[in-house]
Amino acid sequence: MDCCSGWLYKLSEKLDAPIYNKTQNVPSTISAYISALYFTCTSLTSVGFGNVSPNTNAEKVFSIIAMLIGGQLLLHRDAVALARSRQQGLLTMVAS
């Protein structure tokens, strides 16, 4: 298959706006991994990936840590609630 036979290349020819392969501003490997981890954590914690998002690596790392801590707090809260409901169930069985 020819590299320039796709619809995007045909559109660029029609609009007289050539497509250039710009690889000079590729982010570093660590920056790409941080961005991927941020996207994964955001998606998994259902926080959302909206238009207000961190731009620098430091902001992304902070957001990742905040999401992980928040997830742990929610898990702890649910575990405590489950333990209390089980304990309450056992108390009502003993009282009957």
Q: In terms of pLDDT, which residue wins out, 93 or 72?
A: 72
> Averaged over 49-74, what is the pLDDT?
83
Q: Who wins on pLDDT, 55 or 50?
A: 55
- Closest residue by Cα to residue 35 from 68, 70, 61, 69: 61
pLDDT of residue 1: 46
Global pTM value: 0.51
Per-residue model confidence as pLDDT tens digits over 76-93: 999 998 888 888 876 676
What's residue 3's pLDDT? Answer: 59
Domain positions in the chain: 7-95
